[in-house]
Structure 1
């Protein structure tokens, strides 16, 4: 877990502005700290020396007279105002920058998804991705508002303040340089422990999100079979696991804060003792000693606070690392250069591989306009992959593929969205045709279904068979609306009863009669019997047309 990931600057241009403006404001704040410490030290010296009898020797060297107090107070006030303004400015820049950075990272990740294939193959569930892009990136607020300002001050203010101490008292500066590395050493050791517990906590949160989405999606089925109590217990276990891991993160955070404060306090005390000893012996100017003592805490404050703020921002860093991985993943295969357009659907010696593993061995068949062809075979034989090749989601390793320029498609998952049934059927149409929507629902074996029915997230409110028929209606609506040349359907009747399946098969026959090429993946006997031909695919071994 890096304190500053270079990819943040690469994929979120707003982050560059945060660091640039933050560096400028950090420089102003450092100048204000030096001016404030110097003026305050001089004011105290000017007020104290007369009280102790204006001693001679090194103690009174460099001191101002009591008459100089007004303008010293003016300098101190101006420095304090400048310091407050720069601190406020850094917070504003960090907060606004966080909003822009999150938006840019989300945009980059979503653009990657939009340009890629739906077949991600990364093993991430939708809930895990939503958690990373939602709650995860929102945790970057703590990173920018707390950690980044302190990181900037550590890089800019700390070296400049050490130089200021060196110019005032080389002995104190050398002492600071000796004890200062102790704090980063503790930070590294604690950071390694924090990374482990934070990564486990983040994984637990993603697992909890995925489990909750699964339960919500299948709640109707669980209620029907009386299994909801087991899922309640499962969610309770996942929640307890997340609570436990969160407490471990908090324990490490509190421990790290104590260690850093302790190390910083000892470091300051060591330097203060050497300065105090020389002041007592009358070997060191009072004004210079006070100046060094006022600067010492300012040297250690940024490095101490950056450690504490780092722990508060580790969740955002873990999530952003996953977002960077999403952005940098290999681009999904675009439409192959071997894919061309034609009136029908043609596969000519098409072979598909993933790495060194053959998914589909050479396959050749065609679907001419006016024909219904069923693609059958055992699970894992590559039937859905062949459809994905037609859609451009997967590129073939060899062979030639062609299809009509416009096709309508039904996937294995209904892919419904929150909204009305009508909006799901006419998805993407800026001016939906109500008559065409009703016609599509009727053709998909939902003749009496109200298009105004409101669905929940992921189509909640429909049974599996109803959701499948709504997705078929969406395919038909697109086919009629855009007069497409082909229909591609992947297991469109897997959740339907025999009567509904018969209606869908009649619809597919009617679409073929209208001059479209219809290719349907199915293992259902009713669909295979309704097809003009059946192409059987064996699992990466051979294919037989019948």
Structure 2
């Protein structure tokens, strides 16, 4: 959400972060400026030629004189149509390019912020922002910003031409036109406020639906599915009310802008009419200025109209730029690990050196507290068992390994600080949640690889005691189609596959046998021991006493927390 110093009243019409993160927008603004200048000249030429034609007809000039004006008039009409088409085409292409660029930046930013940051955010809301939110930029970038630029170019030029032809009409426009921006600002503040509430409600609705679908089986067991449905209905009704508020403000603002512009044009017309009657103003000048008067107000009115159409995109960009700014601040050079991180560095040679994992005084942060310090060294060919009561921080230690939790102390792999390494280059991890995706078992096991190696997939399944599963078995969302134990073994096979493929030298398994029977667990321990004997560095978290039989060293964690 925007900070207090970034209130709507203080924001510029065009967020400067758009130019920073969407480089493709820079050339677009230059092109739109050129088209806008050409459109302005075409408007003036259209009014002048139309005036000449009408005046000559009123004066009774022969048809030959009118025929000299008509070709030029037709050419200007065609030019205006072509310029309008060119602006729409350029805006559409640029909007698509900027959306793609921002979506890419957003996904990259989420990746750089890491699981630690993502765990504190609503993934459903982020999905809405990356999807519908960026799609809403079509109106913002394709219509609102071009209209804003056209207004900055066209309005001053048209007023200057009016002043040059009839200073009284020009002065009238100068005195009345500020009323439109004043009302636009007041209405715009109201619109942005209600639009922000609507966008937040949409995010809440997406999160509520996502949570309900994910926990539907649990809700049914406890008979709470009806309350969940009622909660979704309540948020949906709230979203409907917020949407109607946005529409109501949009219609009222549109009426007010049209009313003010009509009154202002009427004042100019009345002034010109009286002076035409007393003969103090020539018909050609009066008609020319009168034709230009609506064009002086039109760009500003259109800015108001397009602002309302683009309001959802404006609200979405706030969320998008907040994420991009957070990633930019976190990866800035010279910042400490706490609250930030070093620039992530891919080290392709890390797996070629001694793959020892060394922790010295590592204290993982959990909320506002620091867990007890952990010190150990896990070398190649060894199994290090992490033990301790539930909640002591065993999984938190693994989270620090994969960049999902901040920590104090020193944690290195192959002599390199793990916070500067991409986890995918050295760590094969299987957590307590399988984290399976829609696709075949083979796709899940070879996740992250360019193509699955069938022989390695088969071996990984066998080592994970899941060789009864066919690699081409198609799974549904979150691995549906498998039992809990089968899903856990597929996740373990995925970790084994990464090691067997040479992509990771360290294997970290978090409670890998929690859903297994004793016989299957014994087979799994044999596989873990075999991989370690073949050179893998294995970190193992387990409550099972049987895990001690394969451990080379045991690290016991104590339930101690220190307030930061």
1:228-377 to structure 2, matched below 5 A, reads 228-329=225-326, 330-331=330-331, 333-334=341-342, 342-352=354-364, 359-377=370-388
User: What per-residue deviation string (whole Å, max 9, x for no partner) do you get for residues 141-165 of structure 1?
Assistant: 1113321232122111111000010
1:373-412 to structure 2, matched below 5 A, reads 373-377=384-388, 381-391=392-402, 396-402=407-413, 406-412=426-432
Assess, with a 3 A threshold, how the Cα gap between structure 1 residues 231 and 447 changes in structure 2: closer, same or farther.
Answer: farther
User: What per-residue deviation string (whole Å, max 9, x for no partner) do you get for residues 332-387 of structure 1?
Assistant: 624899x98634332123345589x5524432122344443332345664433432
Q: Find out whether 1:162 has 2:159 as its counterpart.
A: yes
State TM-score, norm by structure 2: 0.85
> How many aligned positions are there?
527
C-alpha distance in 1 between matches for 2:543 and 2:40: 73
Assess, with a 3 A threshold, how the Cα gap between structure 1 residues 389 and 122 changes in structure 2: closer, same or farther.
Answer: closer
Query: What root-mean-square deviation, in Å, do the aligned CA atoms of Structure 1 and Structure 2 show?
Result: 2.9
Matched residue, 2:127? 130
C-alpha distance in 2 between matches for 1:110 and 1:483: 23
Assess, with a 3 A threshold, how the Cα gap between structure 1 residues 220 and 449 changes in structure 2: closer, same or farther.
Answer: farther
Match 1:419 to one of 429, 434, 439: 439
Matched residue, 2:48? 38
Match 1:509 to one of 524, 529, 545: 529
Matched residue, 2:94? 97
Matched residue, 1:171? 168
Q: Which segment is superposed worse, 186-195 or 517-526?
A: 517-526
5+ residue gaps in structure 1?
51-63
Matched residue, 1:17? 27
Q: Find out whether 1:473 has 2:493 as its counterpart.
A: yes
User: What per-residue deviation string (whole Å, max 9, x for no partner) do you get for residues 384-438 of structure 1?
Assistant: 3432443455565333533598442113432322211111012233342334323
Assess, with a 3 A threshold, how the Cα gap between structure 1 residues 262 and 510 changes in structure 2: closer, same or farther.
Answer: same
Report how far residue 196 of structure 1 moved: 1.2
C-alpha distance in 2 between matches for 1:335 and 1:185: 46
Q: Which segment is superposed worse, 306-315 or 138-147?
A: 138-147
Q: Which segment is superposed worse, 529-538 or 33-42?
A: 529-538
Q: For 1:118, what is the secondary structure of its paired residue?
A: helix
Contact 1:334-1:392 at 8 Å conserved across structures = no
User: What per-residue deviation string (whole Å, max 9, x for no partner) do you get for residues 501-540 of structure 1?
Assistant: 4543443333334443321234455556764544232355
Report how far residue 195 of structure 1 moved: 1.2
Report how far residue 125 of structure 1 moved: 2.4
Q: For 1:482, what is the secondary structure of its paired residue?
A: coil
User: What per-residue deviation string (whole Å, max 9, x for no partner) do you get for residues 244-299 of structure 1?
Assistant: 22111111111111111111111111111111111122221111111111001111
C-alpha distance in 2 between matches for 1:263 and 1:503: 81
User: What per-residue deviation string (whole Å, max 9, x for no partner) do you get for residues 411-466 of structure 1?
Assistant: 34323222111110122333423343233234334332222221233334444443
Match 1:441 to one of 450, 457, 461: 461
C-alpha distance in 1 between matches for 2:483 and 2:264: 68
Report how far residue 192 of structure 1 moved: 1.0
C-alpha distance in 1 between matches for 2:519 and 2:377: 29
State TM-score, norm by structure 1: 0.88
Q: For 2:117, what is the secondary structure of its paired residue?
A: coil
Assess, with a 3 A threshold, how the Cα gap between structure 1 residues 70 and 353 changes in structure 2: closer, same or farther.
Answer: same
Contact 2:370-2:561 at 8 Å conserved across structures = no
Matched residue, 1:183? 180
5+ residue gaps in structure 2?
1-7, 332-339, 416-424
Assess, with a 3 A threshold, how the Cα gap between structure 1 residues 369 and 27 changes in structure 2: closer, same or farther.
Answer: closer
Report how far residue 492 of structure 1 moved: 3.1
Report how far residue 175 of structure 1 moved: 0.9
Q: Which segment is superposed worse, 206-215 or 394-403?
A: 394-403
Matched residue, 2:105? 108
Assess, with a 3 A threshold, how the Cα gap between structure 1 residues 333 and 204 changes in structure 2: closer, same or farther.
Answer: same
Q: Which segment is superposed worse, 243-252 or 98-107?
A: 243-252
